[in-house]
Amino acid sequence: MRTEFYLEGLACTNCATKIQQAAEKLDGVSEAIVDFSKSKIIVEAEPGRNGNLKSEIEEIVAAIEPHVVVGEKPQQKEKPEILTGRNIAFGLGLIGFFIALFLPEGTMKISLFIISYLLAGFEIIQQAWFNIRQGQIFDEHFLMSVATLGAIAIGEYPEAAAVMLFYRTGEFLQSLAVDRSRRSISALIAIRPEIAHRKHGDEIQDIAVEDVQIGDLLVVQPGERIPVDGVVVNGFSSLDTSALTGESVPRAAVEGDTVLAGCINLNGLLTIQAAKPASESAVSRILDLVENATANKAPTEDFITSFARYYTPVVVGIALLIAVIPPIVSSQALFSDWLYRALVFLVISCPCALVVSIPLGFFGGIGGASRQGVLVKGSNYLQALHEVDTVVFDKTGTLTSGSFVVHEIKSVDPFTEETILELAAHAESVSNHPIARSVVDAYEGVIDKGAIETFQELTGLGIEAHIRGHHILAGNTRLLEKHGIHVRDEAQGTGVYVAIDNQYAGLITIVDHPKADASQAIQGLKELGIKNIIMLTGDTEQTAKTIGDQLGIDDVRAELLPHDKVTELETIMAAHHTKGKVAFVGDGINDAPALARADVGIAMGALGSDAAIETADVVLMTDEPGRVVDAVVIARRTNRIVWQNIALALGVKLAVLVLGALGMATLWEAVFADVGVTILAVLNSVRTITPQTKTSIRSL
């Protein structure tokens, strides 16, 4: 039984992890996932589970984040709420603190410091107490509470108040950064239309998009979004596809063109025929991929979560030793001095910068990538993508257009070119393969379906059929050799070899041109330091070599059946002894096994098959090979920012920890080492949210 609850006000990635871990321990719960991007928790529970699941989730959330509200429906807000009760209390505490700084020494000054401390820190102390009662002692709330209460005990009122105020300042800025990142992803929801105008005869009826059926005629007016994927049957216009593909240049749409849901019709009136229901449209697929992306954590995230779990108790123990051992060993060591050092050490040690900024960095990277038409299904794939040093490409539909045209027909006596084309077109008419469609398109006559007596499509080989009493073979040389017909491969492109009644009849040469940016994509990958670029194809050796030379690919492996591609990919991965990852880029249903087998599977999304898109780890919403370069750069940029945060947090903390233990740092320096570094790390993570232009991306 799958149940979803919305967590209104959740802005802490560390707290989200705690909520998820606690929910997973509930009786009868097999799995719990907190989807941070959607502020919701998804719980898989046993059917007929006893107890009120919502109340149990509310109890968990109240213990970890008291201000978060658990609901069954999301609350739509145009902007984040600033004037909440907790923010007002924090603001009053801040004002009281600054007033106290300018007052003369005395009771009033101390009172204002304590009031500002309580206004800013009461919630933190309360949370620490709740956690202690539940056995969750060593967290940031505990560290802040012990350190500041200790400071008050030794009379350091300004520093105690400052620690709480700076901590709350960091929380506030973090919530704003998270909200911005969340909105960059949630803004995609706006591209899903809610209403469609269905045309029935001369009448037009408004219906919910979910009620659209395949084959329905839909009218799309200027300024409206296309409701479902379909084909234009009447009209012409320009489409804004930026929400799906990241491309700002409008694309023309004329009769016969395939159009995707979520695109904006800019000027003309269009009538489209629905090709897919709303649940299977491109926009729904995008939303599903992005919304579920945060469930897959990168190894760096998992490491930091585990690191913080063991790190915090260790530093608490060290702080205790700092406070107790020196006064015991030496009579000259004042307990108050060493207690102060221990308190400084505690404040510095809080791992907030790590546990907050790192998930936020990956979260922002996924959101920023999605706005550029690069959908990454999880931060683990974003991290793996930046480690890629070998890229394996499928050829047809990936590096080449997949739009085949008949270039030349050669016949062998006694057969004519017309006979070869007619029989081949009839045989190929049963197939949806791009090569088969090009042969049918080249035949100007009418296909007589009644003339086709039997047919069989042989994957990776071609077609075997009986037409008007004749046995027809149309495919590659291996198909003919399988039937004992030996021919020399002489096609100057992709060849469809035709045999009639077990006699070689002739050759139909098909050409497929590389995509416009394919050569630039290969060059871009080389400039990024990708060591190995390989092309796999089922095409002939000669055709594959020609395409490889045009694109600058030296390692070309041809004449591969679909299962051969997987075998070849496994060979490549087995020979890959470095730490780098192997990525496979494909678009067709026959690429799905290779996409699943690769370290990182990258699917062409706009025209790619559903099987390829579902199997892949990264989906490109355009069919441009150049987007592979963009995806690698986005991944590298995100990981670079994440490691900048790790280096910043650990470097500053270690330095100030040593100074604190030696008595050379005050609580003010400790506040900077904790909250200040957290703020800097969060602001640095926000950079991953902002999309960049292709020019600036490729210059990184």
* pLDDT score at 693: 43
CA distances from 191 to 187, 224, 250, 287 (A): 8, 10, 16, 9
Return contacts of 654-661, CB within 8 angstroms, 24+ apart.
656/348, 657/345, 657/348, 657/349, 660/341, 660/344, 660/345, 660/348, 661/322, 661/341, 661/345
Between 671 and 483, name the one with better pLDDT: 483
* pLDDT tens digits along 12-63: 666 777 788 888 888 888 888 787 666 788 888 877 665 688 888 888 888 7
CB neighbours of 41 closer than 8 A, spacing ≥ 6? 4, 5, 7, 19, 20, 23, 32, 33, 34, 35, 57
The two tokens of residue 669 are 């320096």
* pLDDT score at 82: 65
Q: What is the mean pLDDT of residues 426-437?
A: 86
Q: What is the mean pLDDT of residues 355-378?
A: 75
Band the pLDDT of 598: cuts 50, 70, 90. confident
CA 352/CA 686 separation, integer angstroms: 16
CA distances from 556 to 37, 117, 515, 560 (A): 41, 68, 17, 11
State the burial class of residue 568 (Cβ atoms within 10 Å of its Cβ: 0-12, 13-18, 19+): middle
Is residue 433 within 8 A of residue 474, CB to CB? The reply is: no
Is residue 177 within 8 A of residue 686, CB to CB? The reply is: yes
Q: Which of 394, 587, 623, 630 is catalytic?
A: 394
Among 4-13, 137-146, 472-481, which is the least confidently predicted range? 137-146
Between 199 and 397, name the one with better pLDDT: 199
The two tokens of residue 150 are 């200790």
Between 620 and 364, name the one with better pLDDT: 620
* pLDDT tens digits along 315-334: 778 888 888 888 888 777 67
The two tokens of residue 477 are 């040389």
pTM over 0.85: no
At residue 534, the 3 state secondary structure works out as strand
Phi, psi torsion values for 186, nearest 5 degrees:
-65, -25
* pLDDT score at 699: 42
Between 598 and 136, name the one with better pLDDT: 598
For the chain, helix, strand, coil in percent to 5 are: 50, 20, 30
CA 550/CA 196 separation, integer angstroms: 45
C-alpha of 544 from chain center: 32
CA 700/CA 69 separation, integer angstroms: 42
Band the pLDDT of 416: cuts 50, 70, 90. very high
Would the pLDDT of 295 be above 60?
A: no
Band the pLDDT of 182: cuts 50, 70, 90. low
Band the pLDDT of 694: cuts 50, 70, 90. very low
CA 530/CA 274 separation, integer angstroms: 41
CA 386/CA 11 separation, integer angstroms: 27
Band the pLDDT of 249: cuts 50, 70, 90. low
* pLDDT score at 288: 61
State the burial class of residue 274 (Cβ atoms within 10 Å of its Cβ: 0-12, 13-18, 19+): buried
The continuous run of DSSP H or E covering 462 comes out as: strand 462-467
Would the pLDDT of 353 be above 70?
A: no
Would the pLDDT of 698 be above 50?
A: no
DSSP 624-658: -THHHHHHHHHHHHHHHHHHHHHHHHHHHHHHHHH
Between 31 and 583, name the one with better pLDDT: 583
* pLDDT score at 382: 85
* pLDDT tens digits along 533-545: 999 987 778 778 8
* pLDDT tens digits along 78-114: 555 666 777 788 889 889 988 998 888 888 999 999 9
Would the pLDDT of 455 be above 60?
A: yes
Between 464 and 642, name the one with better pLDDT: 464
The two tokens of residue 171 are 């929380």
User: What would you report as the CA-atom Rg of the chain, rounded to the nearest whole angstrom?
Assistant: 32
* pLDDT tens digits along 262-294: 788 888 889 999 988 887 776 666 556 555 545
* pLDDT tens digits along 487-526: 876 766 678 999 999 999 999 988 778 888 899 999 999 9
- The order of strands in the sheet holding 237-240 is 251-253, 237-240, 264-265
Would the pLDDT of 405 be above 90?
A: no
Is residue 290 within 8 A of residue 379, CB to CB? The reply is: no
Instruction: Compute the half-sphere exposure of residue 28: CA atoms within 13 Å on the CB side of its CA.
Output: 13
- Scan for tokens 């379909």, then name that residue: 230
Band the pLDDT of 170: cuts 50, 70, 90. low
Would the pLDDT of 474 be above 90?
A: yes
At residue 267, the 3 state secondary structure works out as coil
- Scan for tokens 């901590």, then name that residue: 167
Would the pLDDT of 644 be above 80?
A: yes
- SS3 track for 400-459: ECCCCEEEEEEECCCCCHHHHHHHHHHHHCCCCCHHHHHHHHHCCCCCCHHHEEEEEEEC
| Identity of the amino acid at 313 | P
| Identity of the amino acid at 89 | A
- Closest Cα to residue 499, out of 542, 470, 458, 457? 470
- Closest Cα to residue 423, out of 382, 465, 391? 465
CA 659/CA 673 separation, integer angstroms: 11
* pLDDT score at 697: 43
* pLDDT score at 264: 85
* pLDDT score at 391: 94
* pLDDT score at 696: 41
Phi, psi torsion values for 531, nearest 5 degrees:
-75, -40
CA distances from 4 to 12, 35, 38, 73, 677 (A): 19, 10, 11, 9, 35
Helix axis angle for 335-349 and 299-329, nearest 10°, is 180
* pLDDT score at 467: 93
Is residue 394 among the annotated active site residues?
yes
Band the pLDDT of 465: cuts 50, 70, 90. very high
Q: What is the mean pLDDT of residues 468-490?
A: 88
The two tokens of residue 538 are 């089922």
Q: Which domains does the chain possess?
A: 2-71 (3.30.70.100), 193-291 (2.70.150.10), 372-400+515-634 (3.40.50.1000), 405-511 (3.40.1110.10)
Is residue 461 within 8 A of residue 447, CB to CB? The reply is: no
Mean pLDDT for the chain?
80
CB neighbours of 112 closer than 8 A, spacing ≥ 6? 96, 97, 99, 100, 103
* pLDDT score at 553: 92
Would the pLDDT of 424 be above 90?
A: yes
Band the pLDDT of 197: cuts 50, 70, 90. very high
Would the pLDDT of 589 be above 70?
A: no
CA 621/CA 287 separation, integer angstroms: 12
C-alpha of 55 from chain center: 32
> Which parts of 134-227 fold into alpha helices (H)?
140-153, 157-186
Q: What is the mean pLDDT of residues 58-81?
A: 73
